Amino acid sequence: MSFIEIDGVDLVYKGSGAARGNGGTLALAGAELRIEKGEFASIVGPSGCGKSTLVKLISGLVQPSRGAVRAAGKAVTRPLKEVGVAFQNPSLLPWRNIRDNVLLPLEIVEPHRGRFRRERAANRDRVERLLASVGLGEFGGRMPWQLSGGMQQRAQLCRALIHEPAILLLDEPFASLDTFTREELWDVLQALWTERKCTVILVTHELREAVYLSDTVHVMSARPGRVVASRKISLPRPRALAATFRSEFVDLVHELRDHVGRSKAA
């Protein structure tokens, strides 16, 4: 049994008006996916194919219209507590400084919430260590608007990891950043995952990003989405940016691009 399993999942988004009249939008059809515990997996595919929908299913934010979703051997029927999430936009609370933004999951997620007050000092130490690990050790007292986009994304990663989730879901977290900042954060994320070994699922349009970070890359078809190819990435770790120019890396990117191209035509 895999740590995360998606079995024969269909998902229909019910709309209003005309959409409701024709039964809604079929986002996924017969989707199958297996992800092992501690694995770093990426999901790629054409726009609108249902990549983000898979993330919502795994987190329990939406329920399948047909089929089953399981995590750690249990059916996912409600939002999971042991999940950390980071999106394309950092969504940091503008009235809280960076330190207090990172603390937020410990205030609202059980069992941390119930002991938050008595563990306040330990929690703050935890935040400081995590911020230091991503190069934000001196910025805990700053407000979000005082940080660059890349720094805000580092803070968002810290917030997603502070409660030590078993699963980290990343939905295009670096899409809005320039190339240099994006590549810098690949190494930040790689180091965090290497240290913590949680199960990571990354949704991305950037095939180089998927190959650089992943153990496995899953390719989805055009809507209604399903996984049409899965490619193991056996490049040695830790990976360095220089490796992205080597022939074996470039060949993997081209292979995935061909899979995505065929998925659009399917």
pLDDT tens digits for 31-40?
999 999 999 9
Q: 62-99 burial string, b = 16+ CB within 10 Å, else e?
A: bebbebebbbbeeebeeebbebbbbbbebebeeeebbb
Rounded-to-integer distance, Cα 100 and Cα 140, Å: 8
Beta-carbon contacts of residue 100 (< 8 Å; ≥ 6 apart): 93
pLDDT at 15 over 80: no
Share of residues in the chain with pLDDT > 70 (%): 96
> Mean pLDDT, the chain, as a whole number?
93
pLDDT tops 80 at residue 264: no
- pLDDT higher than threshold 60 for residue 257: yes
Residue by residue, DSSP assigns 67-125 as EEEEETTEE--S--TTEEEE-SS----TTS-HHHHHHHHHHHSTTTGGGTTTTHHHHHH
Cα 259 to the chain's mean position, in Å? Answer: 21
Q: Which band of pLDDT confidence, cut at 50, 70 and 90, is reported for residue 109?
A: confident
DSSP state of 243: G
Name the band, by pLDDT with cuts 50, 70 and 90, for residue 21.
Answer: very low
On the question of pLDDT at 16 being above 70, the answer is: no
> Residue 124's pLDDT is what?
92
pLDDT of residue 19: 43
User: Where along the chain do its domains lie?
Assistant: 4-82+166-265
- Does the pLDDT at position 20 exceed 60? no
- Residue 70 pLDDT > 60, yes or no? yes
Q: What is the signed CA dihedral for 150, 60, 204, 6, rounded to 10 degrees? A: 150
Q: What is the pLDDT of residues 169-187, one digit of tens each?
A: 999 999 989 999 999 999 9
Q: Rounded CA gap, 13 and 20, in Å? A: 9
C-alpha to C-alpha distance for 130 and 220, rounded to whole angstroms: 34
Q: Output the six-digit token pair for 55.
A: 């993330």
% pLDDT > 90, the chain: 85
For the domain made up of 4-82+166-265, the CATH class stated in words is alpha beta
